[in-house]
Amino acid sequence: MDDAIREYQYVDVSVAVATENGLITPIVTDADLKGLTAISTSAKELAGRAREGKLMPHEYQGGTFSVSNLGMKGISQFTAVINPPQACILAVGGTQKVVVPVEGEIEEGGDKFKVAQVMKVTLSCDHRVVDGAVGADWLKE
């Protein structure tokens, strides 16, 4: 690995998948050019082939950003470890029902609180490449 910082003009998202042989991160290529349905379809297909051990090396080597989801395992929040040479990984927890205040004007006698589904995410950044404040601003968006 060299000491250069690479700036990519594309977004290839590595998706963490647990297999019998350990964790592997197949890549959804050109994610920035795809809609949510296409990304979901691609990620599911890649995850299935990863669990079967049928990925080709180019399908799991590289990537520009990673996502790890433990929400389906009942984990509400966690911190994921960055996959070098990438600079960031997004850890996605499961949703939980939380009581939150109602925003805006409340009608007389109306509820001041409601139950909402809330999901927590954590962004790990290599601060040599991505300033934590920049990462925080990205999460806020």
- pLDDT surpassing 90 at residue 52: yes
Q: Of 63, 13, 52, which is closest to residue 34 (Cα–Cα)?
A: 13
Confirm whether 137 is a catalytic residue: no
**Choosing from 2, 32, 111, 131, which is the catalytic residue?**
131
- The separation between CA 132 and the C-alpha centre of its own chain, rounded to angstroms, equals 17
Q: How far apart are CA 90 and CA 95, in angstroms?
A: 15
Pairing of strands 27-28, 113-125: unpaired
Peptide bond between residue 85 and the one before it cis (omega within 30 degrees of 0)? yes
- pLDDT surpassing 80 at residue 104: no
- pLDDT surpassing 80 at residue 25: yes
Confirm whether 131 is a catalytic residue: yes
**Choosing from 2, 12, 126, 127, which is the catalytic residue?**
127
Q: Of 83, 50, 89, 86, which is closest to residue 68 (Cα–Cα)?
A: 89
- pLDDT surpassing 90 at residue 4: no
Q: What is the pLDDT of residue 2?
A: 62
Q: What is the pLDDT of residue 8?
A: 86
119-137 average pLDDT score: 93
